Amino acid sequence: MRVLARKCVVGIQANTKRCHEYAELTGQLVTAVAPVIGYDKAAAVYKKAVAQNVSIRQVILEENLIPPAKLDEILDLKKLTRGGRA
């Protein structure tokens, strides 16, 4: 374990920009917007995002479903990691 740690683990750093991109692309974010836009619209947004390989955020903004400032509040990734209800 010490050799593995020394040769493979020590010095590893997360690429925070890429991690943020992955988090933005996750389909689970649609659950945060569903209470605001409704289940049916949220499902349609998810399907479109998957079909176009884009983020939930991008689809919502393109379709003007939620104002940008409100969407930033809803899709605050750090806030979403805390759990609970909005």
In a domain, 6, yes or no: no
Q: What is the CATH number of the domain that holds 65?
A: 1.10.40.30
The answer as to whether 11 is a domain residue is: no
pLDDT of residue 83: 75
Amino acid at site 2:
R
Would you say residue 7 lies in a domain? no
Query: In the prediction, which pLDDT does 19 show?
Result: 92
Number of domains in the chain: 1
Instruction: Kindly state whether residue 12 falls inside one of the protein's structural domains.
Output: no
| Residue range of the domain that includes 67 | 18-81
What average pLDDT does this structure show over 25-45?
A: 95
Distance CA(7)–CA(25), nearest Å, equals: 32
Helix (H, G, I), strand (E, B) or coil at 69: helix
Domain assignment present for residue 23? The answer is yes
**DSSP 8-class letter at 53:** T
Across 13-40, average pLDDT: 93
The percent of residues above 70 in pLDDT, for the chain, comes to: 97
**Does residue 75 sit within a domain?**
yes
Decide which of 83 and 20 is more confident.
20
Residue 76 — pLDDT band, cuts 50, 70, 90? very high
Asked if residue 86 is part of any domain, the answer here is no
